[in-house]
Structure 1
């Protein structure tokens, strides 16, 4: 069994959640010794496993069908999570939905990361069978490391006693970036850092203005940072605060869980069935609720849920995802 993993526009999308999911797929297949290639010119494969939504992705599907290859589409995206992202995304969302339906309907099998995203896609009327499989997380990458944590604090010139709240995501209103800044106004004594980047010409004016400087002095937008500094931030910060309005899973949430980090999330349906308020994370629905919860978490007035959160990440570790992904491949080939 050999898999052709296809990812269109890798350089453009490598900083996104889909980019990280693609990396996780490779690691998952390596963990269970399934042969794969990411070279689109490869002809010797059994399954085309496709991750992207461009015109070339559809061309790859047509070619695979001509060769009688099986096709698995990784349904990372929905019209719902396309909205409130780029300029014009809300106007384009209905067309994007039609495009997704065309692509997803051409596959033999869909994989989507949560029961929530599966339900959305089923409601599109797509008949392709759908399996739920988390994008997974690399547990060893997010274990506490003094060297990484020191690099993080030195990079931002943080004093040892400075309290830090972090988030990770693109510069999308959907991600809750405006709420992150608004909540930060209530805590001038804490440093709020939003890791991530999107070209500012592509986002609405209100988001662009906030990132460019219309924010409190205690908010930092360092752009896209990976490696030791980000991993040190995940384990060394005092809180991971992710007020996103819509996700298909949220890989950054998995990364924060794997980091034994305190978690504050917006209460949205995607977390149903795998995250529970007051059990493995804390959730709020309004900025007022977020402010109240941050005060209590920082003051250690609430139970520490980090270990239960970590156990949630363990269930979605890369080797576990590899086992399930291999089983899906075998099932598709047997049809």
Structure 2
């Protein structure tokens, strides 16, 4: 069995959740000893598509013509396309129709959670739709004093200074507006937003937030990976993710794997796997501020229960489910 993994516009998407999910797929197949390629000129048994561009459509057409099986990874829905790029809300209904053209041709749709699977089912897609977590590499986010020191030195963090981090693109969907409002009410705390988005692809008001319209205790250092980011996930005092819509949220898994205190917006995607036992949840700015204060004042610590959630969604478990899905698809 050989899998053709394909991510159109891979360089553009490398720093996004989809890009990271693609890396997880490669890691998963390596763990299971399954042969894979990213080269469409090589022979393969299953085409596993991660994006929905014109080249992806041509590959889908060619694969079907050759009698190959096709799996789509349902990273995208109309719901998580809203409140993202400039004009996204205007074109979201058309984006949904466009997605359906792809999903309807698939032999299987894989999507990270039961919530995102239910959204795609409600689009009227009849092929099998299987929830499989993106997975998380627990070892990568293990506490490491060397990485933590790299984080502290990079940001010149002083002894005793409280630091809250997040990681996301500059989207309203990701809650960038509420992140700023919470920071305004907590001027004694540093807020660091890891991530980057081309500023000309987002609405002007978001662009102005990133460039200048934010309080002095908020920092936008751009996309940072490796020791500084991983050290920040364990060395900071909280991970605050106010996203309004996700298909899973890989960064949430990364925070849980880091034994970090996690605060998220209470949204449907977390139903069934993340709740008040393993993370703090709130729905508005006042709630976020109160929950963050409780975390920073050490009144709340759910890190052990949170880590157990990460353990239930490891890359090793995801790999087993992924290979099983491939084998079942070949037998269809």
Fold conserved (TM > 0.5)? yes
Deviations 1:264-310 (A, max 9, x none): 00000000011012x000100010011111111111122x1101101
Matches within 5 A, 1:224-235: 224-235=223-234
Alpha-carbon distance in structure 1 between the residues aligned to 2:203 and 2:297: 36
**What is the TM-score with the length of structure 2 in the denominator?**
0.99
Distance 1:314 1:296 in 2: 25
The equivalent residue for 1:54 is 53
* Paired residue total: 332
For residue 284 of structure 2, what is the aligned residue in structure 1?
Answer: 286
Tell me the equivalent position of 1:33.
Answer: 33
**Secondary structure of the corresponding residue to residue 174 of structure 1:** coil
Q: CA deviation at 1:315?
A: 1.2
| Distance in 2 (alpha carbons) for counterparts of 1:105 and 1:26 | 25
Task: Give the corresponding residue for 1:102.
Answer: 101
Match of 1:135 in 2: 134
SS at match of 1:260: coil
Deviation at 1:210, TM superposition (A): 0.6
In the alignment, structure 1 residue 11 sits paired with structure 2 residue 11: yes
Distance 1:56 1:115 in 2: 29
Partner of 2:12: helix, strand, or coil?
Answer: helix
Q: What is the CA–CA distance in structure 2 between the aligned matches of 1:148 and 1:41, rounded to whole Å?
A: 40
* Aligned residue runs from structure 1 range 320-335, under 5 A: 320-335=317-332
Within-5 A mapping of 1:116-195? 116-195=115-194
The answer for the alignment partner of 1:84 in structure 2 is 83
1:239 aligned residue: 238
Shift of 1:161: 1.3
Report the CA distance between 1:334 and its aligned residue. 1.2
Report the Cα distance in structure 1 between the residues aligned to 2:104 and 2:40, rounded to whole angstroms. Answer: 21
In structure 2, how many angstroms separate the alpha carbons of the residues matched to 1:205 and 1:4? Answer: 39
Q: Spell out, residue by residue over 1:214-254, the C-alpha distance to the aligned partner (whole angstroms, 9 max, x if none).
A: 11100000011111110000010000000000001000001
Determine the C-alpha separation between the residues in 2 that align with 1:159 and 1:320: 39
Q: Distance in 2 between matches of 1:301 and 1:76?
A: 36
Partner in structure 1 of residue 218 of structure 2? 219
Alpha-carbon distance in 2 for matches of 1:22, 1:40: 16
CA distance in 2, matches of 1:173, 1:322: 32
The whole-number CA distance in structure 1 between the counterparts of 2:169 and 2:90 is 20
Question: Distance in 1 between the 2:265 and 2:231 partners?
Answer: 24
Consecutive unaligned residues in structure 2, runs of 5 or more: none
Counterpart CA distance in 2 for 1:168 and 1:233 is 11
Output the CA distance in 1 between the equivalents of 2:19 and 2:252: 15
Q: TM-score, normalised by structure 1?
A: 0.98
Shift of 1:160: 2.2
| 1:43-102 deviation digits (Å, cap 9, x = unpaired) | x21100110010100101011011100001000000110010000000010110001000
Structure 2: distance between partners of 1:213 and 1:141 = 34
Aligned-residue offset at 1:205? 1.2
| Offset, 1:213 | 1.2
Aligned-pair Cα RMSD in Å? 0.7
